């Protein structure tokens, strides 16, 4: 396992659409493990593969999603897609690739995501509040969309 460098604003890879994962192999497992280590060290709520320079539809979400309170439990989402959303929330958001940038975004209050695990098996994941925001934020990264494009009010 290793800590990877988080790509920063200005790198054009952040604006590119990630490709689906087709191979569920040791390389994918290594990427996921490295991303979890990187996310833990950065003290963030989520990290998409594109943020470590890999254009694949992969992200990890800290289940606790609270700065400084990680229980070391992560969701690994491969080829995720939102299948249901409900309500709205307007909350503060930031990004590991845009340090110091913050703003209020409007996101769904509840999100159901269908995604594969590291073995290729499909699962449905439920998130509300900050977890729903993290799902939406990381899926946006996979489509080349930064949270700043969703900001309704600057912080």
The residues annotated with a catalytic role in the active site are: 138
Token readout for 141 is 């990264």
Cα three-residue angle 140-141-145, rounded to 5 degrees: 65
Cα three-residue angle 134-142-10, rounded to 5 degrees: 95
| Beta-carbon count within 10 A of 102 CB | 16
DSSP designation for 56: B
| Beta-carbon count within 10 A of 37 CB | 15
């Amino acid at each position: 396992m290793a800590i990877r460098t988080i790509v920063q604003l200005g790198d054009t890879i952040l604006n590119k659409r990630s490709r689906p994962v087709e191979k569920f192999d040791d390389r994918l497992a290594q990427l996921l493990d490295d991303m979890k280590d990187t996310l833990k060290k950065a003290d963030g709520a989520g990290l998409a593969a594109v943020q470590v320079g890999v254009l694949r539809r992969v992200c990890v979400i800290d289940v606790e999603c609270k700065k400084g309170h990680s229980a070391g439990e992560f969701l690994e989402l491969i080829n995720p897609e939102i299948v249901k959303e409900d309500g709205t929330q307007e909350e503060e958001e930031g990004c590991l690739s845009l340090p110091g940038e913050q703003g209020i975004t409007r996101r769904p209050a509840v999100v159901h995501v269908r995604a594969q695990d590291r073995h290729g098996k499909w699962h449905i994941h439920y998130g509300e509040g900050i977890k729903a925001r993290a799902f939406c934020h990381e899926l946006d990264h996979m489509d080349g969309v930064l949270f700043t494009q969703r900001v309704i009010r600057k912080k």
